[in-house]
Amino acid sequence: MLYGAQRGFASMTTNTGHNGTNGDSTWALHQPEKKIDWAYRAMHGSVVIAKQVVSAFYSKKSFTSFYAGCSTGGYQGLKEVQMFPEDFDGVLVSAPAWWHSHLQTWSIKVGLYNLPVNSSHHIPASLFPTIGAEVLRQCDPSDGLVDGIISDPRRCDVNLEALLCTPSANKSACLTSPQISTLYKIYTDWYEADQTFVYNHLELGSESQWSLINTTSGTPDSFSIGYVQNWDFNYSIVQTAERLNLAMHDASNYNISAFRARGGKLLHYHGYADGFIPTGCSVYYYKHVQRALAPMGIELDDWYRLFLIPGMNHCSKSAVNAPWYIAGPNQAGGLVRGTGIRSVPGFEDAEHDMLMALVRWVEQKQAPDQIIGTKYKNDTVSEGVLRQRPICNYPNRAVYNGSGDVDDARSWKCVKGLQ
């Protein structure tokens, strides 16, 4: 709520119909009405009431309204766009957990890849930095500049066998053949029988946030297990999840033309190094919206834009000093002493601040082709800026001009697609 209020917005938030703590989903067990509240009803009802309060307080019948949220908050934003397109004029979503029936089961699946702990294929967490360093060594140059950042992991043809143990290798910093097989599973999309796609893979460069793979406890991610148990799942993976009406808890309606028809604008971004929700899941959603609307003659670029942020983890921060800060939802908490920080200190404008870019798009009809990401030294504003770089409208990507300071955004440009 502070995110909007400190910028001068009349703001609202909701507990989505229940009281609970982070990671605890026991409130949902045998509680169908609470699950409906969580899925959409509490958010929409709160928005309706909040608009009535604001209208009465300011004696104003009409005003523009905006939404911003990351992860589950991103899911809620997409759910609003799909079910209640009249609620918001502009919606900003980051790393949305929009496909819960697949995400939570995948979170267990990817953990099971690395179990049991005493198996030959288990990769201990102590080797994650070794894997990340080798991936960075191979993939960093793929964008034409060695700067410690993987700009686009999908352009990297990685050779995971370079991590294999040899007679002369340090056995604490190499992998066996069975462990390499586990690594391939982690970096590969999940398919079931008859090549049925289930969920996306973790990207190269996400290794610093592999808590889902860290199965030292002997079990997969506890939150996902709790989700499966407390939401009345039987463990037959996705089929059971979908059969038990979990589609209500997915934001998987790709026909969002009603939102576009009333003039709504949707900004969507995701970090390439996200270790909790694979980046590809956002690309999957974007492309399926394209598939749904192109036959209707509807192009996306004038109302829906996606931005992929190199090196950024889930919602915020970066393990490789990539420019990640764009003043998005949940991001100020990633800065040292970030509570109370408004916008992008030193750069409070629509070129650097994603929410301001959305407001300008809605109110001035100026769409953002890029947003400049900022990395403060040690993620501390008072220490100054380490580097800045443009983050481009998908499928475009940023490339170095070939001259000038690589840490200056002016030395970079956005180019089309895979050029």
User: At which residue do the structure tokens 């949707």 appear?
Assistant: 266
Is the pLDDT score of 299 beyond 70?
A: yes
Residue range 47-76: average pLDDT?
A: 95
Residues 71, 94, 151, 318: which is the catalytic one?
71
For tokens 């080798």, the residue is: 134
How high does pLDDT run on average in the chain? Answer: 92
The pLDDT of residue 240: 65
Of 231, 186, 233, 249, the C-alpha closest to 212 is 186
**pLDDT tops 80 at residue 419:** no
Is the pLDDT at 301 greater than 70, yes or no? yes
Asked about 89 being catalytic, the answer comes back as no
Residue 243 banded pLDDT, cuts 50, 70, 90:
low
Predicted confidence at residue 113, as pLDDT, reads 95
Overall pTM surpassing 0.85 (yes/no): yes
Q: Quick: pLDDT tens for 1-52.
A: 888 998 999 999 999 999 887 777 888 888 889 989 999 999 999 999 999 9
Q: Please identify which of the residues 274, 316, 318, 353 carries the catalytic annotation.
A: 274
Q: Please give the DSSP secondary-structure letter assigned to residue 404.
A: S
- The larger pLDDT score, comparing residue 384 to residue 238, is at 384
Helices (H) and strands (E) in the chain, counts: 12, 10
Distance of CA 129 to the CA centre of its chain: 22
Separation of alpha carbons 340 and 369, rounded Å: 28
Residue 318 pLDDT greater than 90, yes or no: yes
**Can 121 be counted among the known catalytic residues?**
no
- Least-confidence region, from 17-21, 73-77, 186-190, 326-330: 17-21
pLDDT in tens, 155-167: 999 999 999 999 9
Q: What average pLDDT does this structure show over 347-366?
A: 98
Judge whether 109 and 237 are in contact, CB under 8 Å. Answer: yes
The percent of residues above 90 in pLDDT, for the chain, comes to 78
Reported in sequence order, the residue ranges of 75-227 that DSSP labels E, i.e. its strands, are: 90-94, 190-192, 196-199
Dihedral angle, C-alpha 378, 382, 383, 387, nearest 10 °: 70
- Whose tokens are 């770089």? That residue is 389
Residue 245 has pLDDT above 90, yes or no: no
Q: pLDDT band at residue 233, thresholds of 50, 70 and 90?
A: very low
CA distance 376 to 386: 5
DSSP single-letter state for residue 408: S
The active-site residue out of 314, 316, 352, 353 is 314
> What tens digit of pLDDT does each residue of 92-150 get?
999 999 998 889 889 999 999 999 999 999 999 999 999 999 999 999 998 889 999 99
pLDDT digits (tens, 9 = 90+) for 270-298: 999 999 999 999 999 999 999 999 999 99
Higher-confidence residue of 229 and 33: namely 33
Greater model confidence, 143 or 228: 143
Question: According to the model, what pLDDT value does residue 279 have?
Answer: 98
Structure tokens at 250: 């997915």
Q: Rg (Cα) of the chain, in Å, rounded?
A: 22
